[in-house]
Structure 1
Amino acid sequence: MRVITASRPEWIGPFTGLEPAQFRTLVRLVSKRGGDGIADGRPGRQWALPLADRVLLVATYWRTNLTMRQIGPLFGVSHSAAHRVIDTVGPLLALAPVRKRRIDAVAIVDRTLVPTRDHRLATPSKNYRYSTNVQVAIDPETRLVIATGDPQPGSRNDCTAYRDSGIAEQLADRPIIADGGYQGNPEVVMPYRKPRDGSDLPHWKEHLNTVHRKVRARVEHVLSRIKNFKILRDYRRAASTLADTVSGIANLHNIILTA
């Protein structure tokens, strides 16, 4: 028996954070990207769930981080069927590529550590857990996520993860704001550091650092909202799927803000 279904809009908000209209926008996006391969009524063996319920299952899984043996019965399917739905629909929710924007449009970059149980990629990091380093870039005006990088080992410093994750190429030729951990990347605007002799910074540099902190705080707020999707607090799936998951959650965040 199916407990949660998209045909009852009152279930959508509590389990996904989306309004029903936003959820319908998401379903249309998945349908367009997936085409005949995921369409209802396609030739061959049919899906156990209609497309809207499959999208709801993925969004619910990301939001709640229930196990497959928990989320399967909620939708009236086996845990193996829930796995197949997430593997098929999850990548279709990914963030769209960065649109062409003004060359002077600023982006803010920061990293978030995602506790990850797959030790093939995760390493011990600052949070004393096996984690991955995920780079996220936002538009400071709209607070929309404009790019996410490929997850890197959690012990890797930000200046290296910024380059290796591919996010630097996505944001090429664009002013970047980041914290002091991104030294070695000349295109990144960072706060002024105190001189090595221990003397104080000039007043004008202190003022610019204050402005920099206030602007950069916007990416911290976005990261905290993204972490409302609890799967990013304890990632149990294969690390190779984390990039699609982060990108999909970033897309959900953008839909919540704009749709």
Structure 2
Amino acid sequence: MTYEQLQHLQPKAFKRRCGVQPDTFNLMVEILNPHLDRRGKRGGQCKLSVEDQLLLVLEYWREYRTQFHIGTSWDLSESAVCRLISKVERLLMDSGKFRLPGKKQLYQQADNWSVIVVDVTESPIERPKKNQRAYYSGQKKYHTLKAQVVVNQQTGQIICTAFGKGRVHDFRLFKIEQLPMLPEQLCLADKGYQGLAKLHSSSCLPTKKPRQSKLAKSERQHNRLLARLRIVVEHVNRRLKIFRILAERYRNRRRRFGLRFNLISAILNFELASPS
């Protein structure tokens, strides 16, 4: 389906189909138009309009079909689809419209982010030809790439991300990243971050059940209340994995995974901040 067939959809249906809101789509077209619209210029001219080129890329993120299947749907070669996806992603990142705040903002805007939530989500990958053990996740029982997200508990905004191989423990990834948090900022985490209090005094973790024993009633209540506060990061992970390129087995080059993850995260932040 081309953009002309989709532009008459209701905003809710348009987002279900493309993964982004119509206003976000229009902004992305404005960014891409000076670079992709080559009418009246020398050189090659893509047979698709700028809107359809963007729609192709969103379809790739949203459905994660192979580039060969997408090429046959749009009457393009597989190599042309690959080049177009890479070009659109680079132009959107270089525009500066879709950028995450970054970890430096944790202390520069500490008043805005008094409570943050940290969590790790994993994306499966194809079994590597070399160094397989480094990517094998003992929790998931297959090879993965890990992405740590730091989220504002009040708004659900993604502040910063960090990436690691599947074998790296969640807490080890946190220590490698060295988030510059101020002492008055409260950090909420799950059971995988045991020992966080030694690095950051203002942290809150669930109480682990001791062996051959049960948790006290107050400890169970504490865990439930903490889970209610931390649920915001689970919703963020769910919104990210609506784009199947982050949820299904990642088939592309692993070095480009972080760029796509950050770009999709920034798009979600933009839609979260938009009045619509």
Letter of the 1:55 counterpart? L
Alignment identity in percent? 26
| Unaligned 5+ runs, structure 1 | none
Structure 1 CA distance, aligned partners of 2:227 and 2:216? 16
Tell me what 1:41 maps to.
Answer: 38
Q: Deviations over 1:173-197 (max 9, x none)?
A: 3432111211343224322345679
User: Quick one: which of 3, 7, 10 aligns to 1:9?
Assistant: 7
The change in CA–CA distance for 1:226 and 1:102 in structure 2 (over 3 A counts) is: same
Check conservation: 1:194, 1:201, Cα contact below 8 A. no
Tell me, yes or no, if structure 1 residue 25 matches structure 2 residue 27.
Answer: yes
The change in CA–CA distance for 1:21 and 1:128 in structure 2 (over 3 A counts) is: same
Q: Deviations over 1:214-255 (max 9, x none)?
A: 111221122122111111121110100100111122123234
Tell me what 1:111 maps to.
Answer: 120
| Unaligned 5+ runs, structure 2 | none
Q: Deviations over 1:37-57 (max 9, x none)?
A: x35239653451444333222
Tell me what 1:143 maps to.
Answer: 156
Q: Which runs of 4+ in 1 moved over 6 A?
A: none
Tell me what 2:228 maps to.
Answer: 214
Tell me what 1:240 maps to.
Answer: 255
What pairs up with 1:95-110 in 2 under 5 angstroms?
Answer: 95-98=98-101, 100-103=108-111, 105-110=114-119
The change in CA–CA distance for 1:183 and 1:57 in structure 2 (over 3 A counts) is: same
Query: How far does residue 156 in structure 1 lie from its aligned partner after superposition?
Result: 1.5
Structure 2 CA distance, aligned partners of 1:249 and 1:191? 30
Q: Deviations over 1:45-90 (max 9, x none)?
A: 3451444333222221110001001112333321111111111222
Aligned residue for 1:234, secondary structure, equals coil
The change in CA–CA distance for 1:253 and 1:142 in structure 2 (over 3 A counts) is: same
Structure 2 CA distance, aligned partners of 1:88 and 1:118? 27
Structure 2 CA distance, aligned partners of 1:189 and 1:92? 40
Tell me what 1:80 maps to.
Answer: 79
The change in CA–CA distance for 1:201 and 1:9 in structure 2 (over 3 A counts) is: same
The change in CA–CA distance for 1:80 and 1:134 in structure 2 (over 3 A counts) is: same
TM-score, normalised with respect to structure 2: 0.76
Aligned residue for 1:133, secondary structure, equals strand
Check conservation: 1:91, 1:248, Cα contact below 8 A. no
User: Quick one: which of 166, 170, 175 aligns to 1:154?
Assistant: 166
